[in-house]
């Protein structure tokens, strides 16, 4: 885990990386995100808690917290883009910069309607690879057969970590026979920094609907995995289902019942795309609950 955070230190200005490094161990070990804001508090996210700290790494009030200067924001951007911002135009327009070692840094700021003219905030997300997080789902697949899965949780609860784990386990045949996996990795997050040595085919950087269409038509996967599904992908998913491809997807929500009120996404539930629902929670530790979707919707 430390290696992952230390990997992010190379993109941080020295003053801020020192402060993060000096955070109390119980915070440092659980950091999910490091967020830099121009002339505003720098914070780290632990579970669903936002922690601000001073330049010595002591948690403190917002008013005395360490703030990133314009030079520091620029330094961080320069490091993330290898001093070549123009190489990341298409990603920055979509609000992120791919991290060379895998993963992404979310960005936002002043826009001219299309491009960001100035970047005010940077969100460096840690991409953990915990290979056994989705082990219970593999057991369910092994006992009851493979089905579509919807992974539900509020943001930063480990949906992507779960998807990374299930990608690894299914494509490597850990706990069951290996399956052909197609991964639609729009934001370079699912496969970030991990070597999928199993039978997985990945489309990086393309929008999800197009990726799902291409994977279905050209790679004939047994399962398609994608992050943060939305109404835009409904048609592509339904088409994939007609060819027998199962879908494992995540969605931001507190409970799958909420999806019934989300227009086009509700259609996916009505059409029986998903057989199981995985709910992720954080109550001092990450918890996973796997339920047949019929029981809860």
Q: Is 71 in the site for another protein (CB under 8 A)?
A: no
Report d(CA 207, CA 200) in Å as an integer: 18
Closest to another protein by CB, 17 or 213: 17
Do residues 256 and 292 make contact, with C-beta atoms less than 8 angstroms apart?
A: no
**DSSP 8-state secondary structure symbol assigned to residue 261:** G
Strand, helix or coil for residue 22:
coil
Closest to another protein by CB, 74 or 121: 74
How many CB atoms sit inside 10 A of residue 286's CB? 17
Q: Is 86 in the site for another protein (CB under 8 A)?
A: yes
Minimum CB distance to another protein, residue 191 (Å): 21
Contact region with another protein (CB under 8 A), list: 72-80, 165-173, 219-227, 235-243: 72-80
Minimum CB distance to another protein, residue 117 (Å): 8
Residue 178 CB burial class (10 angstroms; 0-12, 13-18, ≥19): middle
Residue 248 CB burial class (10 angstroms; 0-12, 13-18, ≥19): buried
Closest to another protein by CB, 87 or 218: 87
Q: Is 92 in the site for another protein (CB under 8 A)?
A: yes
Residues 105-134 that bind another protein (CB under 8 A): 115
Q: Is 85 in the site for another protein (CB under 8 A)?
A: yes
Gap between the terminal Cα atoms of the chain: 36
Contact region with another protein (CB under 8 A), list: 75-83, 216-224, 274-282, 283-291: 75-83
135-144 vs 159-172: helix axis angle to the nearest 10? 50
Residue of the chain from 4, 22, 55, 74 that contacts another protein (CB under 8 A):
74
Strand partners, 296: none
Residue of the chain from 39, 48, 87, 243 that contacts another protein (CB under 8 A):
87
Residue of the chain from 1, 14, 62, 78 that contacts another protein (CB under 8 A):
78
Total of chain residues touching another protein, rule CB under 8 A: 14
Q: Where are the alpha helices (DSSP H) in the chain?
A: 2-9, 14-21, 25-28, 70-80, 89-93, 135-144, 159-172, 208-214, 234-242, 264-270, 293-296
Closest to another protein by CB, 75 or 275: 75
Q: Is 82 in the site for another protein (CB under 8 A)?
A: yes
Residues that bind another protein (CB under 8 A): 74, 77-79, 81-87, 89, 92, 115
């Amino acid at each position: 885990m430390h290696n992952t955070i230390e990997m992010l230190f190379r993109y941080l200005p020295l003053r801020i990386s020192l402060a993060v490094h000096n955070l109390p161990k119980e915070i440092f070990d659980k950091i999910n995100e490091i967020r830099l804001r121009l002339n505003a508090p720098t914070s780290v996210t632990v579970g669903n808690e936002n922690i601000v700290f001073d330049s010595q790494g002591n948690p403190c009030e917002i008013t005395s917290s360490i703030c990133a200067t314009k030079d520091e924001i620029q330094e961080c951007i320069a490091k993330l883009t290898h001093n070549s911002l123009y190489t990341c135009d298409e990603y920055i327009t979509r609000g992120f910069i791919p991290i060379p070692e895998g993963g992404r840094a979310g960005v936002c700021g002043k826009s001219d309607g299309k491009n960001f003219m100035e970047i005010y905030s940077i969100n460096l997300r840690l991409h953990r690879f915990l290979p056994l997080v989705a082990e219970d789902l593999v057991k369910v697949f092994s006992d009851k057969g493979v089905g579509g899965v919807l992974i539900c949780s509020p943001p930063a609860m480990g949906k992507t970590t779960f998807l990374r784990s299930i990608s690894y386990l299914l494509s490597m045949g850990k706990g069951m026979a290996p399956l052909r996996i197609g991964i639609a990795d729009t934001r370079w997050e699912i496969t970030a920094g991990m070597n999928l040595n199993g039978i997985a085919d990945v489309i990086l950087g393309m929008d999800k609907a197009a990726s799902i269409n291409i994977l279905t038509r050209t790679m004939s996967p047994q399962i398609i995995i994608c992050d943060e599904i939305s109404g835009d992908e409904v048609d592509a998913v339904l088409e994939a289902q007609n060819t027998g491809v199962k879908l494992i997807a995540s969605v931001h929500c507190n409970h799958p019942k909420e999806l019934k009120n989300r227009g086009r996404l509700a259609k996916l539930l009505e059409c029986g795309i998903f057989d199981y629902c995985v709910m992720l929670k954080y109550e001092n530790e990450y918890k996973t609950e796997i339920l047949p979707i019929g029981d809860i919707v």
